[in-house]
Structures are given as C-alpha cells and as structure tokens.
Structure 1
Amino acid sequence: MHRRFLSSVILLALSLPASAEQSIGNAASVEKDVQGTTGGHSARLSAGDGVYFDEVLTTGADSRAKLAFADRTTMQMGPSSRVKLDSFVYSGGSGVGFNAAKGAFRFVSSSGEHKPYEVKTPTATIGVRGTIFAARVLSGGRTDAVIYSGAIEVCDTAGVCRTLDRPCTFVTVTSAGISEAKTVGKNDWSFDKACKGAPPPSDQGALPPPGGPVPPLPGGSEAPFNWGGPTIGITFGPTIGDGSFADPVPMNGAAFAGGLKLGYMLPIWANIVGGFETDFQYRSEIGGSTNSHGTTSGSRPGYIGTARVKLGYAFDRFLVYGTGGFAYGHIVAPTSFSGPNVIGPAYSVGTSVNNPFLPGWTVGAGVSYALTRNISVNAEYLYIKLAHDYPLYNTSAALYSVPVCNISGMHSIRFGVNLSFSPSDILPANGGR
C-alpha cells in the first residue's frame, strides 16, 4: 500500500527537477517473492505497484513477475532472475532499457509508435523495435536469445552482430563470441512452448493464477542459483597457533574450534556476490613448544569471533570468495612456562594470572557449494591476529606479577553447514510494499 502511495507522490512530482524518482510502469502481476531495490531501499513488490528509473528487480527461486511499462513494453521475469531498469535510455526518449544480470525474460513490444530499446547482459546487447522475443542469462554471462516475431539484433562485446528476423530462431553469446542463428530444437531453450508445437501465448502471458503452482523454466533448463539472502549455520575445524611468548618461545600447537555464524549475501552484478558474516566460536587449548629459550605449556581455552565482509564469484552452485575484517578473542598465551632464558638469564618458572580478551583482524578465502536451494556447505581458511599484549605471570624471579610479551596469531581451517532463507521464506505470503 505504501508503495502505491509513493507512486502517486512521484507522479505528482514529475514537474519538479529530474532528480526525483519517476515511475516508468507497474507490476501487472506478481507471483510469490519479487523484490525491488531503488535508492538503497529494498521492498517486496505487489501487483499494481509502480516500478522506477534505475530500479533493480529480483525474483525468488519459485517466483515470477510481469511488468508493464509506459512505452508499451511488457516484460515477464522467470524464477531466480535479476534485472536493472536503466534510466538513461528511457529519459533520453528511446524507451526503457534493461540490464539483465541473470535468469530468464520474455519481452513484448508493439510496432508503430513504440520506440526502440536495448536489453544488455554481461556478454550481449540486444537491439529491439516492435517485436516479441526472450532472453536467458546463465552463469558466466552466457546469453541465449530467441525471436518469436518481428526482428532483433544481437551483438557480442566485440561488436559482432546477428539479426534474428525469422520466428523461432536463436543465437548464443558467450565471452568467446556469438553463434550463428539456428532454429530452436526440442532440446534448445525457449521461454515458453511457442517454438515447440504449442500455440504462442498472448501478451497476457504465461503467469499462473495467484496462489497456483509456479511452473519450472521451460525447455528443461534450470535457473542460475541465487546466492542472495540471510544465512545461519555452524562452523568447526582445526586451529593452529602462530604466536610467540617472551624471548620468544613459539605457541604453535593445534586446537579445535566450533560455533555459530550468521550472514547475509546480496547479488551485486552478474556472477558477483557480496555480503557480511559474523561468527562466534569456542576454542580449545592451543599447545605450546620448547626451544633454547625455554618451555611453554598450552594456552587456556577461550573464545574467538570475527565480523567480516565477503566478496565472491558464483559458478552457479559453487561460490568462491575472499573475506576479511574484524576479529576478537582470548589470547594465545601459555598457562605456565619454565627455562633459563624466558624472562631473564636465570632459570625461572611462572603461571598465568589473567587471560585477556583482545581485538584484532582477520583475512582469508573460501568456497561454498549449494546442496539445495536452502542448504549449502563451505570450507574456508582464515588467518587471525590479535593485538600485541603483555599478560601477567606470577614467577619465581619476582615477588610481584610480571607482564610478559605475547603475540597471538592463529591459522584457522573451517568447515560449515549453512541454512539460507529467501525473503519469501520469512515474509507473509500476502505482504505488501
């Protein structure tokens, strides 16, 4: 309801400076989870809501939408699809423009007064004037374009173009170039069955009635996996010390760590995904070592946590990412020490008085694999470094507690199991914007 109110306000403001948001169409029909992001604000789209310049529209894994634009273009979005409505094309008087990052789309525009527009993907540009066609964008930016009526010109990034003007022909565009035009076969992709013996759908187009089941993508093709949304999971694995104590004696023993994590991932463009993750783990004792300076015992058990940004590249169900950010936890320092050169030339022994909890930093990388739409597994490596510190020790060399130099570093290898949610999993089925 509040989005419809916003749409009315924007229409009244069209006479004001061009910096105000302007509606360029509306959602003719919406099935399940369809999100719109504009001006840094995301909200769920409902039938009748306006859509705007530079808005990014995203459909969930079981969702579809049909949009009707002021220039008489209609667009259908298949499941797990993402498109940006470009303002520079529309405001320049040439019709609405589309930047399709992933998924499946069907476009219908009329001849006559309809103005030309463009559909852009990571590997292709499709020029359109008065026609019906469909496009699909897969992992790696591969683009398939199918013509149903009229004509389109499809160009790759090197400027090599193909014209499709015969119904039920298609081309494929990848980073390596563009294919020759071919007739759609029974195993080739098509948004609907118009090229496979069934009557072509009307412009009212192929959306199921509200509440009905959403059909899969036609042609036996699976939509690219959507890595967006919140996640909760468990994380566990070995931790190896990379610290030193006193003069110095290494703290390089092994430990086990495990705990919980929370995160949120957001598709940025094409196959690039970014997000945030935080975790909190219990860490067992990290073993000490011995050298010519002396001998150290293992550390006390403690807790370790991180809060990190993540940036990755998705190969459909595989996600490779780098990560880094803030860390915190208990230091890696021995509970006791002994030796002739630990805190001075004389032989001494000591026991710890405190177990400081300190800030630090972390950096690493990992890989995730989606087993299902909601469950994924991952493995990652993190290097964690806590602040340089001087914990206190009672020693045989002094009557009072002595601060001793300590450096706390850790190599952490982590395995995780994650449960992901889409907005449709946590919002009411009939929630509005």
Structure 2
Amino acid sequence: MRRLVAALAVLAFFTSFSRAAPNIGSATAIEKDVRGESDGRTAKIGVGDAVYADEVLSTGAESRGRFVFDDRTDLQLAPSSRVKLDKFVYSNDKTAVFSATKGALRFISAPAVHKDYEVRTPNATIGVRGTSFAVRVRLGRTDAVLYDGVIEVCPIGGGACRTLDTPCTFVTVANGGATAPAALGSGDWSFDDSCKVPGRRAGETPPLAPTTPPPATPASTASPIDWSGPSFGFDAGTGVGGGEFADPVPMNGAAFLGGLRFGYSFALTKEIIAGFETDASYRSDLGGGSNGHAQASSARGGYFGTARIRLGYAFDRLLVYGTGGLAYGHIIAPRSFSGYNVIAAPYTYGTNRENPFLPGWTVGAGAQFAITDNVSVRAEYLYAKLQHYLPLYDTNTSPLPYATCTVSALHSIRVGVNYGFSLKDLLSIATPR
C-alpha cells in the first residue's frame, strides 16, 4: 500500500511539473527546419504542434514559422531567428513577453484584446498597444518597423524612447540610443514589401503566402550536350576468354583489363553522333581450362587494343552506341598443357616457346552518360577475335617443337571515365582575346 501511495505521489509530482509550462498556442505554418527548446530538450516543430510558455523557438537557414496563440496573437519568424516566449499569462495582469535574440519576427497583436505585449531584444524594449509591426536583431542593433497601430521603442542602455504611430515608419536602436522615427525608404529593411507596393495595406502580406511557380519549360528531345570534339579517358574491367587450344581445350578463364583511350566524335545531327576511337589496355594472365582429358594452364599477360568507329544516338545526356573495327593483342595460348589426345594419343605435356602479337577484329556496344559538359562515364562490351596462329611447344613426345592451332578470342566488359573537349572549347582556346 505504501508503495502504491509513493508511486501516485511521484506521478502527481511529474504531472504537475509538466503542467508548469502551459500550452499557449500552436504552429500554423512551417517551412523546413523549425525547432522548439524547453527544459533542455530540443524537438522539431510541425504544423499543428503546440508551443509552450518559456519555450525557445528557432528557425534554421531558409526556414520560417508562423504561430498563432490562444488569444489569436500572430507571431511569424524569418530564417535564422530565435525567440523565447518568456511570459504568457491570462490572469489579471494579462501580460505577454517575447524575447528576440537574433533574426527577424513580425508580430500582430490579438484583435479586441486588452493585453500588455512586450518584445525584448538585447538592446531595446518594445511596448505594444494593439498593433502590427516587425523587429530585426542584427549586428548589435535592433530595427523596428510599424505597419499598423502604435509601438514605443526604448533603448535598454539609456536614451529617449521613440513612439511610432504612423504606418510604414521605423527606428533603429544601437549603442548610441534610438534614431528619430523616419518613413520607410526603398533601401530600408522591412519584414515584407507591404510598405513598398502601391495600393497594398501595410502589413497585410503574410511571409508564408504560397508563390506561383514559373511555367514549366517544354521538354526538348534535342541533346543539350555537345558531343563533338576530341576526348580521352581511362577504362578498367575484365576480359573472359572465348577461344580454344588444340584438342580443343577451352581457354575460358578471366583476366583484368585496364588502359587508356582516345577518340574524336562528330555530331551528324543533334541526336546522331559518329566518331572513331582507339584504346590500349594491359591484360593480365588469363586462366586456362580443361576438357576432361586434357588441361591448359593460364595464358601469359600482354596487351590488348582496338581502333574502331562508333555510331550512337543521344537521349539528353545519355549516349548509346554500337562500335566495331580492328583489334590487336598478344595471343591467348597456355604457357603449358598436359593430357591425352592433345597433339598425340599418349599422355603429352608441352611448354610454350612464344607469345606473338596478332591482329584481329572487334564488335560491341556501350552507353555513355555526361555528368558535366566535359566529364562523362561509360560502360562498354566488346567481343574481339585475333588471327588464328600455331604457337610452338616443346613436348615430351617429339625432339622438335610442335606447332599447335590456337584460337584467341576475348569477351570484355569495361567501365571508364572520359574528358571531352567540345568544338566550342577548342574554338575558344584557338581564338585570341
């Protein structure tokens, strides 16, 4: 029983503590990041969320908030602002105090409510008597602009108070006191443009009013990228053997490919792009294979390259193309082999004596995407087949080298980065200023 009583007492304590900061209004419009801080805790505020007495409201860069309190007082915060709801009492004194430490706010007091409102800044106190006005705290000064009603602005450090009772007038408070009231000019700060637009009543434009988006620009099928001109880049990827050796034994292992490419493109139309390019890559050792009764070791590494034409179609920044032309590279033949029925019926093993450089042909396709006007990324597939060749092998069955038929073929998939110079770039470089 005692434990139950103690638990109820603790619950009552925290309940009374949570009610020490009453709900005094809610958020009616929020743009981006607006937060509330109370009792050392900070939380993001959304439309419809309650705000409390003694809470600190803050807006991030490019963020704004609008709050309506229970007595219909309207408070609007500009980006990068911070305001504390210091005092909001509905008892006999009917007092509301707001402390603005940075940024800008617009205040519209509750209609037909007799209440003392006060806005405090680091160097000024603004007394409000049924009105609409704006305040900005910036670089050690306070700017106060009146839209409607009456406000009294008093410097905290001393000096005469200033009364604003004419719409679209303002004062500035700095270390030297408050300036004399003056009419708002075109170069003076205001929370909105209501004092600067003819025929508009001061203070009537809400800062969170929706704006009309500009009309959409019709989509164009033409490519905005100039694909014409020279380019260079590098590629990396993998090559998989597609050839065979002797019996035949498949040469279907994989190898690394990496190298450089150079090219030149022509825009036949805005969408149809033609050109030529050449590339040279290093190929690592390519794994061998087996046919069940004989096996081949890996082929020596070497070089692989092409010289091709290509023809493509540009979809905005994406270029898809087909390509074909000449290929060249080192033979894809095993360093050694062993097994039955490779070059003779008995068990035979042999060692390669040469690694010739062979011509061939290639065909493939790819896609290229322009990240900027000059930089693009690409992915490409090529099939290449080199000239048939009979490399010499020293074997255990013959005192003389044995020539063995070899088909060198390669499937390659590579990705790369290109840098292109458009014709406009070349002309700008070639033309003296």
Larger relative contact order, structure 1 or 2 (CA cutoff 8 Å, min sep 6): 1
